[in-house]
Amino acid sequence: MSKRILFLAPYPYEEAPSQRFRFEQYFNFLKEQGYEIEIHSFLNEKTWKSLYNHGSFFAKAMGIIGSFWRRKLLMFKVRKFDYIFIHREASMIGPPIFEWFIAKVLRRKYIYDYDDAIWLPNYSQQNARFHKLKAYGKVKKIIKWADIVVTGNSFLQEFGNQYNKNVVIIPTTIDLKNSHNQPTNHSHSPVNIGWTGSHTTMSYLDSLIPILQELEKEHHLTFTIISNEKPDYDLQSLQFIKWKKETEIEDLSSINIGVMPLTDSEWAKGKCGFKALQYMALGIPALVSPVGVNTEVIEDGKNGYLCATSEEWKEKLSLLLNNQQLREQIGKEGYKTVRTKYSVEANRDNYQKLFQ
């Protein structure tokens, strides 16, 4: 008889990167191993799409109320599952009532997964008025009640170890077979420097803009931003691509040099280096700030570059802009790193062990 796994997630299936690259891409593998899978998101698609729009207060409120009602009804079915996997939180606002119910009332063990420093306040401007409703302190309790805690890097693991002794690391991973399988063409002219991410993280680029303004005077280049909102930067070389799931890999593979600047903050230390891994999986040399897990992923000068100062950013970008052979060499080494350490193939047995 097959084992049944219940996945509780904040966002609709196949919509959010944190879910897609943390666990959803393992579903087919788990099914092949004989597991039955159900995923239940807190937000439905309609509420998910309205959540980050300005205004729409009534629609958001009704959507959240509906989300709580669906979660409540789901609690009557929890006993039917052999394993329960909770990603980030069972409900996006309020105290951990569902985790408490599962652990303390139903007496069921659950696996808890998080990939950001979600105990720290972090919110969009559209929902700034209500960010305290997220009850950031609940993360400690969810970790404490869990049977197994899964994190994306050592910084997150260290936090989890304060409240639970069974904390393991499974990195955010890339599917090299079914997803990131269109390597970049380094003979492309002009050379295309690129960044991908949501508008909420675009501010990390602010420190890089003056450097790019200097470089575009000295080199024939383009700077591409792939995001959900159009940027407002004073760059002649700027081109914007609206992020779409259907063209995500094709758009990424147009990049020849990938950048990932970060500030040295507690929130940034919790990041799992996903942007860099995406670049590397497509043979794109990654230039990153030496913050958090980036220093574990990148071996400076071999599979990418660590850039701590404006001078280093300009130097390494210029080096790669002028040298196609170097771009190809660094890109190949980056791909090897992803294949051996950060791919689905390299980590799928670790995921299966969670359900044994």
d(CA 113, CA 110): 10
- In this prediction, residue 50 has a pLDDT band, given cuts at 50, 70 and 90, of confident
Domain for residue 348, yes or no? no
The more confidently predicted of residues 201 and 87 is: 87
Judge if 64 and 165 occupy the same domain.
yes
Domain for residue 177, yes or no? no
Q: What is the CATH number of the domain that holds 9?
A: 3.40.50.2000
Considering the entire predicted model, what is its pTM? 0.90
Judge if 163 and 205 occupy the same domain.
no
Output DSSP code: residue 46.
H
What's the mean per-residue pLDDT of the chain?
93
Judge if 159 and 229 occupy the same domain.
no
Instruction: Write down the pLDDT at residue 175.
Output: 95
Judge if 269 and 315 occupy the same domain.
yes
Judge if 138 and 229 occupy the same domain.
no
Instruction: Write down the pLDDT at residue 45.
Output: 85
- In this prediction, residue 128 has a pLDDT band, given cuts at 50, 70 and 90, of very low
Average pLDDT over residues 271-287: 96
Q: Last residue of some domain: 123, 141, 170?
A: 170
**Number of domain units in the chain:** 2
Please say if the pLDDT value at position 60 is more than 90.
no
Judge if 83 and 232 occupy the same domain.
no
Please say if the pLDDT value at position 257 is more than 50.
yes
- Is residue 108 within 8 A of residue 84, CB to CB? The reply is yes
Judge if 203 and 318 occupy the same domain.
yes
Q: DSSP assignment of 262-288, as one string? A: --SSHHHHT---HHHHHHHHTT--EEE
Domain for residue 353, yes or no? no
Domain for residue 138, yes or no? yes
d(CA 208, CA 190): 19
Judge if 88 and 218 occupy the same domain.
no
Judge if 164 and 41 occupy the same domain.
yes
Domain for residue 301, yes or no? yes
Judge if 127 and 204 occupy the same domain.
no
Judge if 226 and 316 occupy the same domain.
yes
d(CA 223, CA 256): 10
pLDDT tens digits, 293-349: 999 999 999 999 999 999 999 999 999 999 999 999 999 999 999 999 999 999 999
User: Which tokens belong to 249?
Assistant: 């890999």
The percentage of the chain sitting over the pLDDT mark of 90, rounded to a whole number, equals 82
Domain for residue 10, yes or no? yes
Please say if the pLDDT value at position 291 is more than 50.
yes
Q: Last residue of some domain: 135, 170, 205?
A: 170
Judge if 66 and 138 occupy the same domain.
yes
Domain for residue 175, yes or no? no
What is the H or E stretch that residue 248 is in? Answer: helix 248-252
Domain for residue 181, yes or no? no
Q: Tell me the residue length of the chain.
A: 356
How do beta strands 167-169 and 191-196 pair? unpaired
Domain that holds residue 316: 191-341
